[in-house]
Structure 1
Amino acid sequence: MNKMKKYKSILMSGLVGSLLVFSGCREDFADINSNPSDVTKAEPSYLFAQAVINFEPSGYTYWFYNAAMTYKWGQMGVPTSGFTSNYTVTTATGDQGGKYLEVLKYANDLKYVRSIMTAEESAKYANMAACLDVLTVYLGIFDSDMYGDRPFTEACMARYGGTLTPKYDKIEDLYTLWLNMLNESITTLTTSTNQTFPTTQDVAYNGNAAKWAKLANSLKLKIAVRLLVQNKAKALEIASAVANASCGVLDGKDDDFLFNKATSVTANDGDKVYHWNNGFMQSTAASKRVMDFMIKNQDPRVRFFYQKNQWNSKVVQAFFDAGKAVPAYVLNNIEYTEANGKKTFVKWKGLGEPWVRYYGLPVEMEASYNSQNADYFDYSNRFKLTNERAAYMPYSMFQQEMIIGRYDFTLPTVPGDDVIQDTEDRPWYGMYMSTAEVNLYLAEFKLLGASLPNSAASYFNKALQTSVEEYDRLANLNKIPYYGTTYKYDPNEKAIDLKDGEIAAMMANADYQLTGNKSSDLEKVYLQELLHFTLFPCDQFVTVRRSGFPKEGSALIKWENFSPKIQNSEIPRRFEVSSPSPTDLMYKILTDAYAAQGFTPGSNQDGALLNSERVWQDKGAPQFGSGAGAN
């Protein structure tokens, strides 16, 4: 518990104070790209490279703490023990709230370095500075989603005569500032000439200014959707400008903001290469409602978001041979013969492998107390072949190797067979923004009345196709379990790679088509945003929060109203802010900032408080489960 509390304090007052000081030349400048002896020269390219390396909206404690909370609060994931009345209780948080400072400090360093150059020399680094602004805005959006106002305009300037106690800027003002920064970045990136921008220092786009401009333009849509509740007209105006901008938007795999930071370890910093290898998301599983929806519609992304369960056909046959029960929902997908009391596996029914290996947990309150659900929640007692061997998990967890490169996978085998493992560490590829995300936003804005050049259906269809393609590509790059291999153990095993015709089959389903009914179409767009953001917990939760989907009574993915145990108004909509210490240099600023936002600081706060005391962009947004959207 002490460790958990430590993470909270780091992200509140401590983070702001400590990171403002450490700005400028450091010993870890772009270790993978630069000569340490050159670091003290504060070369702009090294500053840029280090900023990209420090760009991290998907850190370990974010996945360990934050994601586990937002998945269950949005009913897009289920606690492995099922939903109970304490699921709204907050835990420690981590890796969110001050991540933008890790890039902002290098952006400010670059501004200073350029300020002491001649005007002619300084102009050569305009594109680099513009790209750092894009990265800073991205992380600023991410950090403010769950905390609101942030220190920004005065932050990370102590080294250059600024203050150690920067003011908190209102998120409303920051959105305006960030939009201006992105517009200025686009202008710079599309007009600057004679630029010094070594391709080896840009692991994202290899110094391609046109692609950075597309990212900057696309990023404005993330701000626009967050403005819909507070200023719909402005949001629609932004969307129209983005769609009609001459620089374009992310459009295809070569434009997607998807990269790995390094392929080899230097200075013992394997986390930059492999991300990390600590366990995470071990108490959160797939939602049965989400899983059933994706399987019903033959959505290939289910294989990239979630892990196969451990019930391959050889495991099934071993349970048959031992005369032991097979989970009922697994047995429903098996064709078998029975003679003299012995069952023999014949083949998988329905969609077959690999589809039959994905199951989620029931969403209903206290589902684990219902004996009919024992196959889900009591599997550790029910589904062992020997006491020495762990039980075989019948449902699916989140796909960890899409998040980390150091993940040891053990194939489910029966007792007595050889252990089959994949323990190879692989450089991790992260996707941060993509063509699919852009087109989902454009589909949403078109339905809401924005003046856009194409139809909502065309944006929607493009989003669906590219989302599947993007996640297939990411699964391949990260070499997740069963991608490109069956491990040659179970003759009925199938690899999970995307197959010809699967996207067309998915998109032929009515649930994946727009029909011209605005209300129905908006629900489909919002649900596809939620699915696309399965591995982006914050973006997914923001979408749940601002849209009111999943919706109660939906025929697609239904929101469960847990009343009277828990009211929808008792589910948190942001994270806690800790009570500042009177000895903290930022004490008065923090106190005033929380008061200005209407936040009550403290720990172990109830969900009703964190539902009613909302961040600015969430004020007036629909309640969970209402499906009100931004109509």
Structure 2
Amino acid sequence: MKFIKSKIYLLAAVGFLFSCEKEAFVDVNKNPDALSAVPPQNQFLQATQQIHGQDFEAFYDLYRRIMPWMQYNTLQNGNQGSFTLNFDNFSNRYGRLYNGIGDRLYDLEQLVSKLDAAEQPRYDQMIQIARILKAYYAFYVSDIYGSIPYTEAFQGRYGGTLQPKYDTQQELFAKLDGEIKAAVAALKVAPSAPQYSLGAYDQYYKGDAQKWIKAANALRLRMALRVQKADAAAGTAIITEVLAMPATDLMSSNADAWIFIGNATFTGDAGGGNWNTDELRAPKPMVDFMFTKGDPRLDAFFTPNQYTQANINLLIAEKQLPAGTKEGRRYVGSFTSPDDSRQTANIQRYYTPKAIKSNSQTVDTLSFIQPRLFNTGKADAAGNAGTGQSYLPVITYAEYCFMRAEIALKSTGAASAKTWYEDGVKSSLDLYNEIGLKSQLTNYVATTPAEITAYMAQPGIAFDATKALDQIASQSYLNFMKQPQEGWALYKRTGFPNETSVVPLPKVTYLNVALVVPRRAPISLPTQTDPNFANKKAAYDAMAALPGFGDLTSAAGRVWWDKP
């Protein structure tokens, strides 16, 4: 992945850009004419930073909501009570679309429009790339909210309305697909003038138009698979159109992956340590599956427990363990069902660490989330801060392969799906191996070709046409460890993973009552003093009328694409 190496230095520039432009941004918020002091490409960089630099989203939305719901983790003592009903501080994405991302990408176009007419054509590709990124984030927000303002949004300080109407999700997804399609078409045309490249302001592809074409087409496929659940004809039409593109316009390796890569401090502990995963346990279902199958990603995802032979020997000497006790399995997961984690026997065996009296060290039975997978600057046991790279994927090549495998399975059959499935598994193993090495994950050992070969031959991993969709979805679920929000969407879209799938997602219960996995963001009721009350109420009333949407304030209902 040569393009990744060129990104190492980019985050060093961010602090400089932030400090140099801070006063300009304050002025911009008060006076749109002050935008002339800001270079267009800087708005792209700032929007990118806002998309990926959200530690509150990591802490609340991912670590303590979506990841436990989807059994990617548990809290320190296992999942507790009705944890699927906890929505405090949930969904940090909505507000940023209008204050930090969509508005800045809209500003980029406005800045270009204020330039001399002779200069404007030199920004054509930059504008198209900005439109792709804006469409991605609008999709990301609507994905769990449904109807949102878009067509009339972002225009307030340019003479547009301050009370924008809401686009329905069905309307919005069609509009966004059209915008992405148009951007791809424009990027494929030879520019009429030499282009100003985004260069270092683009932390994904350095302004490479061909890479952005591939990313945009992958995004169209991701959206189309959502649409297909609610409107099969519309979704299939988009898929057919994208797959008719030349091979050069489609992802073909990990080098094409849409990934933000920053330095260790980007996901560091500044600002309260919200990237920190110290309290997050490895989940038992996933750990058991990966351990049993010899999944090479196991040590990239999770840490070994503290039962080394040296610690065992100390506990034996203190008569806390029987003589002759030997080191055993060191990857042990936490119970995901509250009824299991609250059992006295499990609390005593798994959630009650032993203390070595001679050195006051605590010996824990259970594994944790691999800290530097999410918090790259995390110090190791010796106190050495991490200095590797922070990986924040948007669409990986593995995801693209799994989408292609699913599409092939539904259209041309299992034979064509097999190749895409196997390519997806291998590319995921390769990517997490790269992350393991370049993020300097603790206790990580590089994956070998022999390990990959052995894993691909394991029952449940080796392609089986009789359970192809299950396998494709199960491996997608594992691949989304760094993108649990997409694992959540996968579950809602396909029904996988589930209790009986290749990678199991066991039923979770509290007081013997089954808990329901949320399906969307809860929505607060508007107040009549809200300046945009009329448009909000109309949009919310329309959503409430959708089959399965349910009560606005509940997260158990379904947005348009998540058709029952």
Shift of 1:556: 4.5
Shift of 1:467: 0.4
- Aligned pair count reads 531
Aligned partners of 2:281 and 2:367 also within 8 Å: yes
Residue 357, structure 1, aligned to residue 321, structure 2: no
Shift of 1:365: 4.5
Residue 460, structure 1, aligned to residue 421, structure 2: yes
Shift of 1:279: 5.6
Distance 1:392 1:192, change over 3 A: farther
Which residue of 2 is the match for residue 619 of structure 1?
Answer: 563
Distance 1:213 1:291, change over 3 A: same
Which residue of 2 is the match for residue 144 of structure 1?
Answer: 142
Deviates more, 1:107-116 or 1:122-131: 107-116
Which residue of 2 is the match for residue 60 of structure 1?
Answer: 55
Which residue of 2 is the match for residue 256 of structure 1?
Answer: 257
Residue 582, structure 1, aligned to residue 528, structure 2: yes
Aligned partners of 1:406 and 1:426 also within 8 Å: yes
Aligned partners of 2:376 and 2:390 also within 8 Å: yes
Residue 228, structure 1, aligned to residue 190, structure 2: no
Query: Which residues of 2 match residues 68-79 of structure 1 at below 5 A?
Result: 68-79=64-75
Residue 478, structure 1, aligned to residue 439, structure 2: yes
Residue 543, structure 1, aligned to residue 490, structure 2: yes
Distance 1:30 1:40, change over 3 A: farther
Give the AA of the match of 2:489. V
Question: Aligned match of 1:303 in 290, 299, 303?
Answer: 299
Give the AA of the match of 2:476. E
CA distance in 2, matches of 1:506, 1:215: 29
Q: What are structure 2's unaligned runs of at least 5 residues? A: 1-13, 25-33
Residue 408, structure 1, aligned to residue 379, structure 2: yes
SS in 1 for 2:255: coil
Distance 1:258 1:275, change over 3 A: farther
CA distance in 2, matches of 1:275, 1:250: 35
Which residue of 1 is the match for residue 27 of structure 2?
Answer: none
Shift of 1:275: 8.1
SS in 1 for 2:96: coil
Residue 594, structure 1, aligned to residue 555, structure 2: no
SS in 2 for 1:408: coil
Give the AA of the match of 1:367. D
CA distance in 1, matches of 2:481, 2:465: 26
Aligned partners of 1:309 and 1:394 also within 8 Å: yes
SS in 1 for 2:242: helix
Distance 1:387 1:584, change over 3 A: farther
SS in 1 for 2:362: coil
Distance 1:257 1:34, change over 3 A: farther
CA distance in 2, matches of 1:119, 1:371: 74
The TM-score normalised by the length of structure 1 is 0.77
Shift of 1:65: 1.7
Distance 1:116 1:192, change over 3 A: farther
Identity, % of aligned positions = 23
Shift of 1:461: 0.5
Residue 200, structure 1, aligned to residue 200, structure 2: yes
Aligned partners of 1:240 and 1:450 also within 8 Å: no
Distance 1:301 1:275, change over 3 A: farther
Shift of 1:187: 1.3
Shift of 1:370: 2.9
Which residue of 2 is the match for residue 491 of structure 1?
Answer: none
CA distance in 2, matches of 1:174, 1:390: 55
SS in 2 for 1:512: coil
CA distance in 2, matches of 1:274, 1:561: 32
Which residue of 2 is the match for residue 624 of structure 1?
Answer: none
SS in 2 for 1:430: strand
Question: Aligned match of 1:291 in 287, 295, 300?
Answer: 287
Shift of 1:386: 2.8
Q: What are structure 1's unaligned runs of at least 5 residues? A: 1-26, 264-269, 326-340, 350-355, 411-419, 484-495, 621-631
Give the AA of the match of 1:206. K
Give the AA of the match of 2:243. A
Partner deviation per Cα, 1:309-332 (whole Å, 9 max, x = no partner)? 22223222222222213xxxxxxx
Deviates more, 1:109-118 or 1:31-40: 31-40
Which residue of 2 is the match for residue 159 of structure 1?
Answer: 157
Shift of 1:366: 1.2
Shift of 1:33: 9.2
CA distance in 2, matches of 1:509, 1:427: 32
SS in 1 for 2:85: coil
Deviates more, 1:190-199 or 1:37-46: 37-46
Give the AA of the match of 2:555. L
SS in 1 for 2:281: strand
Shift of 1:220: 0.9
Question: Aligned match of 1:278 in 260, 274, 281?
Answer: 274
SS in 1 for 2:206: coil
Aligned partners of 2:58 and 2:274 also within 8 Å: no
Distance 1:549 1:118, change over 3 A: same
CA distance in 2, matches of 1:431, 1:107: 20
Shift of 1:528: 0.9
Shift of 1:451: 9.2
Query: Which residues of 2 match residues 13-32 of structure 1 at below 5 A?
Result: 30-31=17-18
Question: Aligned match of 2:367 in 367, 373, 396?
Answer: 396
Give the AA of the match of 1:60. D
Residue 384, structure 1, aligned to residue 355, structure 2: yes
Residue 238, structure 1, aligned to residue 238, structure 2: yes
CA distance in 2, matches of 1:66, 1:185: 31
Give the AA of the match of 2:65. M
Aligned partners of 2:393 and 2:482 also within 8 Å: no
Residue 507, structure 1, aligned to residue 468, structure 2: no
Shift of 1:161: 0.5
